[in-house]
Structure 1
Amino acid sequence: MYARFLATTLLVAASAPSAIFAATPDTSPIKEVRLSSGGLAEVLRAAVVNQDGVVRLEVPLEQVDDILKTLVLNNDSAVIADLSLVGPQPLSETFKGLPVTAESLASVPALLNAIQGAMVTVTSQGKTVQGQVLGVEPRTAADGAEAYLLSVLSGAVTIATLELAPDAMVTVDDERIRDKLVQAASAIARAKNDRSRAIQIKVKGNGAQRVDLSYVVAAPIWKTAYKVVAGEDGKARLQAWAVLENASGEDWRNVKIILSSAEPVTLSQRLHQWYWRDRMDLPVNTAANAVPEADTGNLTKRAQAQRAASYAAAARMQAPRPAPVAVAAEAAPDRILTQHYGGGAIDRDSQSTATESDVSATFELPGTYDVANGDTLSIPILDAEIPASMVSLYRAGGQERHPVAALMLTNDTGVSLPAGILTIYDARSGYAGDAQLAGLPGADTRLASFAIDRKVTVTEDRKPVDEITEVKVVDGMLRLTQKARYVTDYTVAGAMDAPRTVIIEHPVRSGWTFSSPASDGKTATHHRLKVTVDKGASQTVQAVEEQLRRDTIAIADTEPEALLAWSASSTDRVLSAKLVELSEARQKQMAAQRALDQWEDARERLVSEQARIRENLRAVPASSDLSSRYLTQLEATENELRALAGKRETLEGELHQLEGKVRGILRTF
């Protein structure tokens, strides 16, 4: 209805100057991008310093926080004095100082109500009024349509009214209000495309015209895809390809790319944001579900390799230093590259230069690259021949009775390999399967499991065995040392067509010692057993876990059977004989105690019977036959009680004598 006024306002606002948002050509091209496995990109730009000593950098809004955190100047003769940019909420901040709101600019009636008191000239339906705005009153016309009636106070102290029709034209005569309306319309126009920020960087120095700026921002994690072709001579052809994306918000042109396998601690903070004290916001857990665990390496083999490396280093100290060699290995023999598996050889001139640091490997790609914003690039970073052998890997405790086929890889490339997905080819039969490869440091080994080996079956038989290793008695307390043992027999039924090397992973139990004649080191979570099974044959290997347990028991309260068992386990003949003697004495003592307890039970039974008979006597006539019968029963129970009374002293005497004998034996320990 009131589009004419709004269009005019926006046109005026668009023609107004704006120093902060004025478009300028890009004068800071990207020279280099260093991508890390931590999901960050270190961006290096060649920036031009203008005559005012300012570098202007236009960046996406989502990168502002990271740039405020990490921006540095790579120049020895210049420093950054300060930097400035528009705040995080420019629209709301702009309207805080204006007499109107963004909503009031949506229609002429709302705007006129918002600038009450301002001088205006309004024309509608051929009629014009001029004066100070008093207000706009909504009304319903005769046909039911909505209408608005404007009231103004003219210079002659006259109130004039005007119905606002769709052709209404408003001129704001108050210059101060008019400027504020232009400012408000400009703010709305900017907010519609509020996706970037122009950062003004003030540089101080000796008049440098060009400087290098670098900063770290979030970036898609670069991935590694490996292809390995397994041969038959203990070697395999390994190719590594890096897959990366340009999500910087601009095209890369002639950009140097460096890849790092480092996984630094990465923190982010909304520096380009206002903060007030508030309650803690409990985040929702969006972590992915656990995936099958990748091999973390043989720790025992690693320790052996470290010792061997130490010996080799000592030998090199006394020998002439050899000439340096390239990190990239020579091309694998053509006999391994049968058919097309592995993607063929990689041009040596296109391979990356790999360097090793304390915590990561860095791959500097040759030349420069053009990558459009949003595009993906896949680049070869390694092509080498490495030691590899096929094995079958069985992990104890699972539901699957068949092991998995795995390729044991040894990294002798001289540089650590980042984690990634591994595609395995067999030189004879082609695609074999996929595996998850954890980070593989130089000179270390990994098992890459890729398929179920159903030609081999492994069964488990686990038996607990306990034995007493030491028995001592000190101050009436028996100190018992027992050895708990678990013996697990693994029976491997080999394949019918070829021999197999089987690696069995047995869980590590904290506090238990482990031994096996087939032991082949351990990982962080499992012991490894290695067995070679001929075709069509079966073989059993044993794993033994042991744990010593020490108990302290009051010997005086110990059961005779336990004393006999301990005496049989003791290597001290004198102690063993004393335990047997104590066991026999304790048996007699306990028998005497049972006899006395039986006497007490019998007496209580007779006393209870007497009470019952006396109660019955009171309930029947004194001269009746029933009364005579009760009297006879009462006399019989009385005789039994007299007989029992004579045995009590004898039983108590025997028990006292046996208890003394037990105490005497205990004093001899």
Structure 2
Amino acid sequence: MLRRKLVWSVPLAGAIGAGVAADRWLAATALADGKQDLRPAVTLPVTRVVMFNSGVGYFSRSGEVDGDARVDLAFQELDINDLIKSMVLEDFGGGRVAAVSYDSREPIERTLASFSINLNGDPSLAGVLQQARGERIEVTTNPTAQNQPGKLTGSIVGIELQAVPVGQTQMPVQVLNMWCAEGLRSVRLQEVQQLRFLNPVLESEFRRALEVLARNHDAQKKAVSVHFAGDGKRRVQVGYVIESPIWKTSYRLVLDAQGKGGKPYLQGWAVVENTTDEDWANVRMALISGRPISFKMDLYDPLFVPRPTVEPELFASLRPPTYDGGFAQRGVRPDPVAMNPATQNSAIFNPMFANPNFNGQGLVGNNFAFQNGFVNGGGGFGGGGFGGNLGGGLANNYAAPQMAVANTPQLQQQLAQNRMQLARLADAKAEKQNAANLGAQLAERLSTGAVTDAATAGKLGDYFQYAIDHPVSLARQKSALLPIVGKDIEATRVSIYNPAVQAKHPLLGLRFKNTSGVHLSQGPITVFEGSTYAGDTRVLDVQPGEERLVSYAIDLGTEVDPQNGPGSGRITSVKANKGHVTTVRKVREEKKYRIANRSQTDRTLVIEHPNRTNQQFKLVETDRPIEDTAGVYRFQVAVKAGEEKTFVVNEERDVATTVQLSNNPDQQIRFVLSLTEAPPALKQKLTEALKMKAAWDGQQRDLTQVKADLARVATDQDRIRKNLAATPREAEVYQTYLTRLATQEREIDALTAREKALMASEFTARKAFEDFLANLTD
């Protein structure tokens, strides 16, 4: 139902008038809605399913409606958020989407209590009528009712119990009291045959309450109603994205066991699961081998924004002023939304899978047509054939009807067979065309017949699509295998050795090139040698034309023994920069792979050696790898039957060591001088630095000696002073002690002066040496 926008902000003086006008308009709209709700709901079956590898699926429902119609759907409560986020609604006959409504999370009791007649608690007829007191009704009584006309029209006054004689006793009977044209009338409820509310709004409310009860038998599901408004019969479509299991792939790879040079045959199957609660009957299906970003967002629960509480300001009443209109326009400003018919008729849109002629152009593989053309069906697995080729066998038969021949029973039978074959071929071509149309329309612009301002749908980009040729029927909670690939591919037998996988033996495998023309999604591969099981492997996503290695068994006929070589290291350069000396040492590591082929056939061995480029290792004096990945180098070695070989991988890297020359002992300087790789200019500067270091060391030695002499004199003075304290002044030795103290004082003055001079000289020599080292650059 269409709800026009109301003006939410009106002047206080006109609020009452606006409220009255809105109330009348809403009442009229409610009457119209009541009439619309009386129409039966339309069922739209699932007609198209698009599965992705990101945990979601796109489901499309389409069908025909007549005039104003309502479509009722039911979804699991967990899917409602995805439904609100992604629902696509289209009306292809010039109609429009009026509204979409869905149940809230509130319990059913609260929902039922919101209707005019509350159906909670299983009310009786008397209870229902008691809630509708004052409403007008039409009552049809039983033909056997006494003193009652066949049909009554009036308003409900109430329900009362009256005692009615039954034999010798009185029985209470429920009686409906009505106000009719002729006055009050009483009708026993047991005599009522039919009762109808004359108020369409109340009748609609009662009907909707019953529908809520009917839709809520499954407590885990929520009802969604879509209202379409328009004239005449037309096609409508509802699409949405909800959580679904990813579709998976499984492959069969058949090798030529006889060694006749036949190409391997790759057969691919898609695993599709219908986990919904609805059967899929003849739905068009497409499989997208991409991983679009998908997320969940809580749009189902009501969200409220906290608002501040503001106290109103009180002012004295003023005389209301009047205002003139502007020069440009006088009167009411028009509502741009109401004046735009395109906006009023707009419907929800989504730029995905919505073209009304969506019939599957551009599909894949065997039983599929790829995006830009068709691919002939190859032979099936085991010689059967998914598509087969009828051309050669039917060429002559197709020409037979054009020949002038006699009318014999044999020719009539032949002509009948030709017609049947032509009809089958025409059906197959039509199905191919439908599949081709489906794929192309997945990338076409979204239909905008019922929507204005619709966005243009983009191409699928890097995604790859598989669209099934034939309609798919799949019961609920069932799974199916659908063929998507059936092609010969290019492949070469190899043995793949990686010590981290198997330390002793390589693995039998293939280097195959995806020449199928289609994208191969990740999945397991079961390998057969002829018709014999050979092993299992797994492949990640492979683009058309891309090469990939796969392994499926252990090669017991080949043995590999990896050995670490001695390794070596040498200094390649010595440089100095502002007192920092950097020494670069080239370190070489060697890895030997001893290979023994004890089988009766030649082997092509692929050795996976760790790729240590991030550790600055480089290959030297080693054959170029045929391939390198982020984790390994791949080297290819041909080994004949019974042959032994050794394959060597040499790697080097530079290891730099930096030391800072300082005023510490000069062993660092002498070590650098001893290096033959040090340049002569650096050695000359380092020799000069050693001379400066020697001068500084001499100053340090002299200063140390002076400090030792001062300490010696101080100790001797302390001894003399103690002796003086213990010796009488009249003693002859007392004067000797005084003379010696005076001599030592003069010596201390001389040593102190020398110490001061040496300290200044030592500081100058040390600073000159440190400055020289700090600016040392070759």
TM normalised by structure 2 equals 0.54
Give the conservation status (yes or no) of the 8 Å contact 2:85–2:299. Answer: yes
- In the alignment, what sits opposite 1:364? 467
Give the conservation status (yes or no) of the 8 Å contact 1:564–1:583. Answer: no
The amino acid that maps onto 1:94 is: L
- In the alignment, what sits opposite 2:234? 209
The Cα shift of 1:209 comes to 2.3
Higher strand share: 1
The amino acid that maps onto 2:522 is: A
- In the alignment, what sits opposite 1:512? 616
Which structure 2 residues correspond to residues 17-32 of structure 1 after superposition, within 5 A?
26=43, 28-32=44-48
Change (3 A) 1:372 1:185: closer
The Cα shift of 1:375 comes to 0.8
The amino acid that maps onto 2:68 is: G
- In the alignment, what sits opposite 2:691? 585
Residue 78 in 1 paired to residue 94 in 2?
Answer: yes
Structure 1: unaligned runs, 5 residues or longer:
1-16, 108-113, 132-174, 279-323, 333-341, 623-630
Q: 3-state SS of the aligned residue for 1:94?
A: helix
Residue 260 in 1 paired to residue 365 in 2?
Answer: no
Structure 2: unaligned runs, 5 residues or longer:
1-33, 125-130, 132-157, 164-168, 175-196, 307-371, 389-427, 441-459, 729-736
Give the conservation status (yes or no) of the 8 Å contact 1:234–1:387. Answer: no
The amino acid that maps onto 2:241 is: V
Change (3 A) 1:582 1:198: same
Taking the aligned partners of 2:285 and 2:472, their CA distance within structure 1 comes to 7
The amino acid that maps onto 2:296 is: S
The amino acid that maps onto 1:488 is: E
Change (3 A) 1:588 1:54: same
Give the conservation status (yes or no) of the 8 Å contact 2:573–2:585. Answer: no
The Cα shift of 1:245 comes to 0.7
Which structure 2 residues correspond to residues 82-121 of structure 1 after superposition, within 5 A?
82-88=98-104, 89=106, 90-95=108-113
Task: Name which of 410, 430, 433 aligns with 2:533.
Answer: 430
Q: Rg larger in 1 or in 2?
A: 2
- In the alignment, what sits opposite 2:682? 576
Give the conservation status (yes or no) of the 8 Å contact 2:249–2:268. Answer: yes
Range with greater deviation from structure 2 (577-586 or 358-367): 577-586
Instruction: State the aligned residue count.
Output: 523
- In the alignment, what sits opposite 1:490? 591
Task: Name which of 536, 541, 552 aligns with 2:649.
Answer: 541
- In the alignment, what sits opposite 1:228? 253
Taking the aligned partners of 2:117 and 2:70, their CA distance within structure 1 comes to 35
Range with greater deviation from structure 2 (480-489 or 533-542): 480-489
Taking the aligned partners of 1:84 and 1:664, their CA distance within structure 2 comes to 84
Residue deviations 1:405-441, cap 9 Å, x none?
A: 2433321222221112233344597322333x21111
Change (3 A) 1:216 1:191: closer
Residue deviations 1:348-393, cap 9 Å, x none?
A: 2599979896312211222122211111101221122223334455
Residue deviations 1:516-537, cap 9 Å, x none?
A: 4344266663241414163433
Task: Name which of 363, 370, 387 aligns with 1:348.
Answer: 387
The Cα shift of 1:93 comes to 3.1
Residue 377 in 1 paired to residue 402 in 2?
Answer: no
- In the alignment, what sits opposite 2:519? 416
Taking the aligned partners of 2:586 and 2:376, their CA distance within structure 1 comes to 50
The Cα shift of 1:211 comes to 3.2
The amino acid that maps onto 1:575 is: A
Task: Name which of 65, 82, 90 aligns with 1:66.
Answer: 82
Give the conservation status (yes or no) of the 8 Å contact 2:378–2:385. Answer: no
The Cα shift of 1:261 comes to 0.3
Q: 3-state SS of the aligned residue for 1:85?
A: strand
The amino acid that maps onto 1:544 is: E
Residue 532 in 1 paired to residue 558 in 2?
Answer: no
The amino acid that maps onto 1:229 is: V
Taking the aligned partners of 1:468 and 1:442, their CA distance within structure 2 comes to 47
Q: 3-state SS of the aligned residue for 1:456?
A: strand
Give the conservation status (yes or no) of the 8 Å contact 2:618–2:652. Answer: yes
The Cα shift of 1:457 comes to 3.4
Residue 249 in 1 paired to residue 277 in 2?
Answer: yes
The amino acid that maps onto 1:246 is: N
Taking the aligned partners of 1:523 and 1:122, their CA distance within structure 2 comes to 98
Give the conservation status (yes or no) of the 8 Å contact 1:387–1:410. Answer: yes
Task: Name which of 223, 228, 244 aligns with 1:197.
Answer: 223
The Cα shift of 1:512 comes to 3.1
Residue 447 in 1 paired to residue 462 in 2?
Answer: no
Taking the aligned partners of 2:486 and 2:170, their CA distance within structure 1 comes to 85
Change (3 A) 1:69 1:612: same
Task: Name which of 447, 458, 467 aligns with 2:562.
Answer: 458
- In the alignment, what sits opposite 1:56? 71
Q: 3-state SS of the aligned residue for 1:78?
A: coil
Give the conservation status (yes or no) of the 8 Å contact 1:226–1:420. Answer: yes
Residue deviations 1:133-183, cap 9 Å, x none?
A: xxxxxxxxxxxxxxxxxxxxxxxxxxxxxxxxxxxxxxxxxx9xx999999
The Cα shift of 1:237 comes to 2.5
The amino acid that maps onto 2:111 is: E
The Cα shift of 1:223 comes to 0.1
Give the conservation status (yes or no) of the 8 Å contact 1:468–1:566. Answer: no
- In the alignment, what sits opposite 1:218? 243
Q: 3-state SS of the aligned residue for 1:414?
A: coil
Give the conservation status (yes or no) of the 8 Å contact 2:91–2:228. Answer: no
Give the conservation status (yes or no) of the 8 Å contact 1:422–1:434. Answer: yes
Range with greater deviation from structure 2 (66-75 or 32-41): 66-75
Change (3 A) 1:649 1:211: closer
The Cα shift of 1:569 comes to 6.2
Give the conservation status (yes or no) of the 8 Å contact 2:604–2:638. Answer: yes
Give the conservation status (yes or no) of the 8 Å contact 1:404–1:450. Answer: no
The amino acid that maps onto 2:226 is: Q
How many percent identity over aligned positions?
Answer: 16
Give the conservation status (yes or no) of the 8 Å contact 1:487–1:545. Answer: yes
Give the conservation status (yes or no) of the 8 Å contact 1:514–1:545. Answer: yes
The amino acid that maps onto 1:255 is: V
Give the conservation status (yes or no) of the 8 Å contact 1:394–1:404. Answer: yes
Give the conservation status (yes or no) of the 8 Å contact 1:392–1:403. Answer: no
Residue deviations 1:168-213, cap 9 Å, x none?
A: xxxxxxx9xx999999898666544342424233144x64422344
The amino acid that maps onto 2:607 is: I
Q: 3-state SS of the aligned residue for 1:537?
A: strand
Give the conservation status (yes or no) of the 8 Å contact 1:224–1:421. Answer: yes
Change (3 A) 1:197 1:470: same
The Cα shift of 1:585 comes to 2.2
Taking the aligned partners of 1:571 and 1:373, their CA distance within structure 2 comes to 80
Change (3 A) 1:660 1:372: closer
Q: 3-state SS of the aligned residue for 2:489?
A: strand
Change (3 A) 1:182 1:541: closer
The Cα shift of 1:66 comes to 3.3
The amino acid that maps onto 1:360 is: Y
